[in-house]
Amino acid sequence: MSPERVESIRQILDRVGDKWSLLVIAVLEDGPLRYTDLQTAVSGISQRMLTLTLRQLGQDGLVSRTSYPEVPPRVEYELTPLGRGLIQVVTSLIAWVSEHHDEIHHNRVRAGVRSAG
């Protein structure tokens, strides 16, 4: 594999592997959502980070943004077919984390690692 391809793969994994992108993708699995509904569903994400995450996922072609000419304006975000291709991977990863949460937490406590708040 060429160094350029490896770098490209690394960049894509960095993007889709960050915690906010994974959660946004998981939340959008059931269909389009408005910005405020997304912010509510992705607990703990700041407005700035949600905006940045949506922009980056849009740049990669994983999420689309549709603006409706209404008063007040309505904007919805949804997974593209490319983004939908990640659903199985994302839900499997979330299920694994959920299944092993207690064991990982126990190991962190034993190692003296504080939980991220």
**CB-CB contact of 79 with 25 (8 Å):** yes
Measured CA to CA, the distance from residue 76 to residue 7 in angstroms comes to 32
Position 49 confidence tier, pLDDT thresholds 50, 70, 90: very high
Measured CA to CA, the distance from residue 108 to residue 69 in angstroms comes to 50
pLDDT of residue 114: 73
DSSP letter for 76, please.
E
Q: How far apart are the first and last CA of the chain?
A: 39
Before 72, cis peptide (omega within 30)? yes
pLDDT of residue 79: 97
What average pLDDT does the chain have? 91
